[in-house]
Amino acid sequence: MSADGAQHQPVRNLLDKLKESTKDRDSLTFGAVMDAVGRNSFASLMLVIGLIMMVPGPADIPGVPTLLGGIVILLAVQMLMNRDHVWIPGWVERRELKSETIKKMIAWLRKPAQWIDSIARPRLSWLINRGSISVLDLAAIAIALSTPFLEFIPMSANVAGVAIAAFGLAILARDGLIAAVSVVTTIGLFSLVIYQLI
């Protein structure tokens, strides 16, 4: 794949990197996932976490959405601090996923990835600047903080994954429209959480 092709297929390119990293391995640590994606690519890691939460299964395991939400908060805070590489606690880096589980996740995401890549493109670039990226970071933190409550609302963690993946995708593709949709999704999720609480 050419560099230009990779740029315009951010989700499929990411899935290819993850699949490549599972070769000859029975399991994969989160640290290995970070190495495969790139430790200086906050947006790619945000996209990976969102994709994991989107897939039926992982987000339904008690505690997993909250753990992933905690990682999202770490990423978003470091983005706000303008750090040049990602720091994650060692115990999180050592968390393992079976390679077979990752391959099944990748297979499930292939068709959605093709559609997502077909609609993501540079547009409304004035919505993707330092200030708006900070707004996306804050929105990601807001969603991450809601994940403990979302665990009690069926399918809501999957929707949170869509929003988190959209944050990463908007930055990677320089797509202001996706950025705007992700913020609207955040508002919708918070409205749902508040409605459930009252």
Using CA of residue 136, residue 139, residue 141, residue 147, what is the dihedral sign?
negative
Distance CA 85, CA 83 (A): 6
CA distances from 140 to 69, 71, 86, 114, 152 (A): 9, 11, 16, 24, 19
- The domain total for the chain is 1
Angle between helices 130-150 and 176-197 (to 10 degrees): 30
Query: Residue 64's domain spans which residues?
Result: 3-197
Q: Strand ranges (DSSP E) for the chain?
A: 27-29, 96-98
pLDDT tens-digit series, residues 113-145? 888 888 888 888 777 777 778 888 888 898 888
Distance CA 76, CA 42 (A): 8
CA distances from 79 to 23, 66, 74, 86 (A): 31, 20, 9, 9
The residue to which tokens 């908007």 are assigned:
170
CA distances from 148 to 25, 26, 81, 163 (A): 32, 30, 25, 16
Each of the 198 residues of the chain gets a pLDDT tens digit; together they read 333 444 567 788 888 888 888 888 888 888 888 888 877 778 888 888 888 888 877 777 788 888 889 999 999 999 888 887 888 888 888 888 888 888 888 888 888 888 888 888 888 877 777 777 888 888 889 888 888 888 887 778 888 888 898 888 888 888 888 888 888 888 877 777 777 666
